[in-house]
A and B are shown apart, each in its own frame.
Chain A
Amino acid sequence: MSKQLKLKIVTPEKLVLEELVESVTVPTLEGEITILPEHVPIIAGLKSGDIVALANGEHIPYAVVGGFVEVKNTASAEGSGVSTEVAILADFAEHISDITDEAIEKAKARSLELQKLAENKEVVDFEHFATELDRSLTRVKIADKWKTRKYRK
């Protein structure tokens, strides 16, 4: 069996995913990295986009907005080599299949609405709208991207 790494995606609201996967690709602030087992420990900021995990040759895509990724290696229990753990802390993460067409339409409408609202709002409210706007746009973008591709679930 090929080596695997432990992937965890957590948001403030819940633990989104905890699974053993072969690799995971994350959008970082300065580009994109693919993490394989025994990757050097790294900490990087995330930008909005999609996290793609690879398990048994299948892609598992998640839409993600803002956060961090941490890779660390710990000595595995059997004492042979190391096990890699990837923790993704996101403000928001959602499996692609959870983003239905209906939700996309709603998100599109919402993002337009928010854009208008954001133009004439105070700073405090703006912060709220800006994050929500980012979230809506990311969902739409990522869902569009994965519409024609194959993925698990």
Chain B
Amino acid sequence: MASTKEIKNRIKSIKNTKKITKAMELVAASKMRRAVATTLASRSYAGYSWELLTSLSGKLDEVKNVFFESPKEGKTLIVLITSNGSLCGGYNAQAIKKAMQILKAPLLNKERGGGEVLVDFISIGKKGDHAMRKIGQNIIAAFTDLPVNISIQNVNPISALILNEYKKGTYKEVFVVYTDFVSALTQKPNVRKLLPISRQEMKDMIDGLVPPLLNKEGNEGRFLNSSEPHPDPLLVKERGNAVPYLIEGDANKLIDMLAEKLIRMQIYQMLLESGASEQSARMVAMKNASEAAGEMIDNLTLVFNKARQAGITQEISEISAGMASVS
């Protein structure tokens, strides 16, 4: 059995570790709350711009737009969103695994007659960047120095790069691998097709902005949360009758502009979701670590007390043995 001094030192060091993990847990929790709030705040913009695009493109059904139609030829671009820091449980590993899956998945290969598919990557976050470099993927750009509180300006360069490459016809489709924030305890790695714009995906995204964030608080309905300042009916109901709009300027140009903004918005949204997921994953990981530390301290305290007691018992028996031999 280890000496009492050794055990005491170990308990002390575990206590220190626990303090650190506890602090990290709290920091992650507050960052997560902020990320969730930002995600909520951006949803009315997303809702409006989607509505605008539907009214515009509904009017101009015959319009052929590069954003809605996939070019036949070209490579595939995958944007992988991961974190810069670690200590967040399986967060990065899951996202990377998801990216690996699409690399092999039929998602890319079917319809192409099994031909070789060329894939390029844009990595956001150091962890994904390292992982993709390791397996020798072609990374055309790495954004690894984004701040924790992402603003829309930070997204500009990313979206500009993607849109330019797509418009040039380098890529026929663009996917984003990110982590969906389902609740504070659950995050799901997810793949979304960014380009060409699919109406269904877009609608899913905008619908998806609301429920999980509210459900977390235990609300069942979508807009039941009364603390929600601006319940926006636009998000749930599609406008049935198309109103004839007057359009100033060239409608095609407007659609282009709007589509670009929507793409940027989507990337922003996915970054926010990933950020919230990262923080909550970290929070949970740190919580587990703190709990494990607590358990270890309990066990070691038990061992320590036993050792101490054994020492005392031994001393007493030595003393009484000594006394017996004297008398």
Contacts and interface: CB of A to CB of B under 8 A. Distances in A.
A44 B229 CA distance: 28
- Main SS at interface, chain A: strand
Contacts of B161: 124, 127
Given A18-B230, A43-B245, A10 B141 contact: no
Contact of B157 (A10, A12, A18, A125): A125
Interface stretch (B42-50, B66-74, B206-214): B42-50
A45 B249 contact: yes
Nearest to B160: A127
B41 A42 contact: no
Contacts of A48: none
B55 interface: yes
B152 A91 contact: yes
A10 B232 CA distance: 12
B254 A68 contact: yes
A13 B248 contact: no
B247 A15 contact: no
Given A18-B230, A89-B49, A41 B244 contact: yes
Contacts of B245: 41-43, 72
Nearest to A29: B249
- Main SS at interface, chain B: helix
A149 interface: no
A11 B45 CA distance: 6
Interface in A59-86: 67-68, 70, 72-73
Interface in B240-279: 243-249, 253-254, 257-258, 261, 264-265, 268
22 contacts: A12-B46, A14-B41, A43-B55, A43-B248, A44-B249, A44-B254, A45-B248, A68-B52, A70-B55, A72-B243, A87-B48, A87-B52, A89-B48, A89-B261, A123-B164, A124-B141, A124-B157, A124-B161, A125-B157, A127-B156, A131-B153, A131-B156
Interface of A: 8, 10-15, 18, 28-30, 33, 40-45, 67-68, 70, 72-73, 87, 89, 91-92, 123-125, 127-128, 131-132
Top 8 A-B pairs, shortest CB-CB distance = A44-B248, A127-B160, A42-B246, A12-B152, A128-B157, A14-B41, A10-B45, A41-B245
Given A44-B247, A70-B55, 14 more contacts: A12-B45, A28-B249, A30-B248, A41-B243, A43-B254, A44-B248, A45-B248, A45-B254, A68-B49, A87-B48, A125-B157, A127-B157, A127-B161, A128-B160
